[in-house]
Amino acid sequence: MMKSCAGLGSVWLASCLPEIIAAQEHAHRTAQSGAPSGFEFFAPGDAAEVEAMAAQIIPTDDTPGAREARVIYFIDRALATFAAQERAAFVEGLKQLQKKTRKLFGKAKRFSDLSAEQQITVLKMIETSQFFELVRTMTILGMFSNPEYGGNYNKIGWKLIGFEDQFFFQAPFGSYDRDYKG
Partner 1 sequence: MTNERPHFAANAEIDFVIVGAGAAGGVIAKELSSAGFRVVVLEQGPYMKEPDFEHDELKYMRQQAITNDYKRQPNTFRKTEKEKAKEQPAIIYGRMVGGSTVHFTGNYWRFHEIDFVERTRLGAIAGTGFADWPITYSELEPYYTKAEWELGVSGLAGASPFDPPRSKPYPVPPLPIKSSGVLAERGASKLGWHAFPAPMAIISQPYRGRNGCLHCGFCEYFGCEVAAKSSTLATVIREAEKTGLCEIRPNSYVQKIEVNKAGLVTGVTYFDGNRQVHFQSAKAVVICANGAETPRLLLLSKTSLFPHGLANSSGKVGKYLMFNGHAQASAVFEHTLNEFKSVAVSRVIHDFYDSDPKRGFYGGGGMDLRFVSYPMGFALRGLPPDAPKWGREYKAMLREHYTRTVHANGHTTSLPVETNNISLDPDVKDAWGLPAVRVTYKDHDEDMKTMQFFQERCKELLQAAGARKQWFRPLRGQSFGFHLLGTCRMGEEANKSVVDKYHRAHDVPNLFICDGSSFVTSGRGQPTLTIQALAYRASDHIIRMAKSGEIKSAV
Give the footprint of partner 1 on this chain (CB under 8 A). Answer: 8-11, 13-15, 17, 20-21, 24, 56-59, 61, 63, 65, 120, 123, 127, 136-137, 140-141, 143-146, 149, 157-158, 160-171, 173-177, 180
Residue 113 CB contacts under 8 Å (≥ 6 apart), including other chains: none
Give the three-class secondary structure for 7. Answer: helix
Three-class DSSP labels, 135-152: HHHHHHHHHHCCHHHCCC
Q: Which is nearer to partner 1, 34 or 174 (CB)?
A: 174
Q: Which is nearer to partner 1, 10 or 108 (CB)?
A: 10
Shortest Cβ distance from residue 108 to partner 1 (Å)? 26
Q: Which is nearer to partner 1, 44 or 61 (CB)?
A: 61
Shortest Cβ distance from residue 26 to partner 1 (Å)? 13
Residue 107, H or E segment: none
Q: Which is nearer to partner 1, 43 or 146 (CB)?
A: 146
Region of 154 please: left (phi>0), alpha (psi -120 to 50) or beta: left
Taking the C-alpha atoms of residue 182 and residue 172, their distance in angstroms, rounded to an integer, is 13
> What percentage of the chain's residues is helix, strand, coil (to nearest 5)?
60, 0, 40
Shortest Cβ distance from residue 164 to partner 1 (Å)? 8
Q: Which is nearer to partner 1, 48 or 160 (CB)?
A: 160
Secondary structure letter of residue 129 according to DSSP: S
Q: Which of 103, 111, 123 is nearest to 46 (CA)?
A: 111
Shortest Cβ distance from residue 73 to partner 1 (Å)? 14
Shortest Cβ distance from residue 68 to partner 1 (Å)? 12
